[in-house]
């Protein structure tokens, strides 16, 4: 047998051994055990971000936005796009064996609007509906104690 054929045969055996090794993502859990992560939902009027991290917030597990799910720019912040993004997040988290989430909901905040956009509620409902257990829901919108001057001028926005 030539050296090339021998190397090729060894390569095939090595590939077969690699296929036997199963890569396991996420923690090893007992049956019925709950594993939490933190879902940071930023819902603006232009887009909805769902960013899931571990409990410390340092390690990103999944990040999906409404803009990644729809074609048209005007639909990025829609409840439908947020729902599609949440479904993708749930699928990925189930692969990692994470079955519970704490929610940190955020609007733009600061001198901008303090109310979450239209995708916030849809994202939260979709996460719960598609099998994630919900722990705590917290509003982490940044509210200034004192800040720069808001837009609109001295007399405000006149209609």
pLDDT tens column, 143-153: 999 888 888 88
> Who contacts 73 (Cβ-Cβ below 8 Å, separation ≥6)?
67
Report the range of poorest mean pLDDT among 17-21, 65-69, 74-78, 111-115. 17-21
State the pLDDT at residue 27: 78
pLDDT over threshold 90, residue 59: yes
**Other CB atoms within 10 A of residue 14 CB:** 10
Report the candidate in 152, 136, 130, 72 with the shortest Cα–Cα distance to residue 101: 136
Check residue 35 and report its DSSP letter: -
The two tokens of residue 43 are 């819902």
Predicted model pTM:
0.80
The mean pLDDT of the chain is: 89
Distance CA 110, CA 107 (A): 9
């Amino acid at each position: 047998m030539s050296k090339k054929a021998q190397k090729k045969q060894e390569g095939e055996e090595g590939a077969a051994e690699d296929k036997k090794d199963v890569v396991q993502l996420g923690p090893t859990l007992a049956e019925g055990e709950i594993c939490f992560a933190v879902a940071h939902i930023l819902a603006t009027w232009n887009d909805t971000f769902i960013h899931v991290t571990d409990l410390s917030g340092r390690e990103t597990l999944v990040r999906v936005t409404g803009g990644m799910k729809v074609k048209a720019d005007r639909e990025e912040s829609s409840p439908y796009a947020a729902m599609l993004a949440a479904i993708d997040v749930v699928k990925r988290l189930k692969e990692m064996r994470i079955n519970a989430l704490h929610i940190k909901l955020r609007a733009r905040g600061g001198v901008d609007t303090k109310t979450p956009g239209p995708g916030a509620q849809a994202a939260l409902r979709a996460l719960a509906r598609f099998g994630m257990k919900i722990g705590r829901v917290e509003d982490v919108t940044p509210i200034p104690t004192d800040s720069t001057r808001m837009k609109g001028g001295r007399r405000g926005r006149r209609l």
